[in-house]
Amino acid sequence: MARTVLVTRPGEAGRELAAALVAAGQPALWLPAFEFGPPPDEALARALLADVDAFDLAIVVSPQAARATAALLARPWPAGTAIAAVGAGTEAVVRAAVAGAAQVRLLAPPDAGDMTRAGSEALWPLLESLRPSRVLLLRAQGGREWLAEQLVAAGAAVTPLAVYSRRPFVPDTALRARLAEAAAAGLASVVSSSDAVGALAAMLAPQPELLRALQAAPALAAHPRIAERLRAAGFARVAVCPAQAEAIVKSLREGDR
């Protein structure tokens, strides 16, 4: 029996990736590291978005951040505030969901094969040339600290705003049983954020034998920084791989040769 890939990316994107792997003939289970919830301070989020034209740039860090921002926004996006999207998927959701985004300068990095310059690193050259002075960082309670640090070092005032929350996912008894069954035939994991590494370890703490099996199995990281975090957490077989079904299947096959 083929190994089962645990997809830890939260939200609809993670569910779709797990389904795409199954459609490609690769057994997979969706095991999100987090669940999404409302912003921790909804009044603050609405107030800052109502005054978003006080910023010359807003950075949307993920598709979920784009959806959450759209839900909190009480008016069309002002034309004078540029939007930067971290990744093509985020850009697509911004265009589809945020009212007025079609009339706004929208920055997003092109898809590139160089995994060392994906995400924040790929976006940074565009922001560096823009030289914003007041930046609103739309995210969960944390994340994209590297990008914020670069902006501050370049002289920008950065205001982080949690437009949604991330809460640890707790598998039910049935899912834990499925995970234990899958471990007997072999596992692999796909990890798309550094924060997911610690969340995954905490989630599986009640099943230490499962965590040990996962640490010994192939772990595919969407970025080199995530790979470093996995290795530090005791994962022994780590590779960097795009979080796409075709690339995951190829990487696993090459690793099994």
Q: Which pLDDT tens digit goes with each residue over 2-34?
A: 899 999 999 888 999 999 999 999 999 999 999
Instruction: Return the number of other C-beta atoms located less than 10 Å from residue 160's C-beta.
Output: 18
The CATH architecture one would assign to domain 37-166 is: 3-Layer(aba) Sandwich (3.40)
Q: How confident is the model over 134-182, as pLDDT tens digits?
A: 999 999 998 888 889 999 999 999 999 999 999 999 999 999 999 999 9
pLDDT of 108 over the 60 cut: yes
Closest CA to 76 of 50, 48, 108, 47: 50
Q: What is the pLDDT of residue 257?
A: 60
Using CA atoms, how far apart are residues 52 and 46, in angstroms rounded to an integer? 10
Q: What is the mean pLDDT of residues 76-84?
A: 95
pLDDT of 80 over the 70 cut: yes
Q: What is the pLDDT of residue 87?
A: 83
Using the CB atoms, write b or e for 63-87: b if 16+ within 10 Å: bbbbbbbbebbeeebeeebbbbbbb
Residues of the chain with CATH 3.40.50.10090: 4-33+170-255, 37-166
Using CA atoms, how far apart are residues 20 and 28, in angstroms rounded to an integer? 9
Task: Give the predicted TM-score (pTM) of the model.
Answer: 0.82
4-33+170-255 sits in which CATH class? alpha beta
- Find the length of the chain: 257
Whole-number percent of the chain with pLDDT over 70: 96
**What rounded mean pLDDT belongs to the chain?**
91
Q: What is the pLDDT of residue 253?
A: 87
pLDDT band at 116 (very low <50, low <70, confident <90, very high): very low
Q: What is the mean pLDDT of residues 220-243?
A: 93
Q: What is the pLDDT of residue 114?
A: 44
| 90 Cα distance to chain centroid | 10
Q: Which amino acid makes up residue 17?
A: L
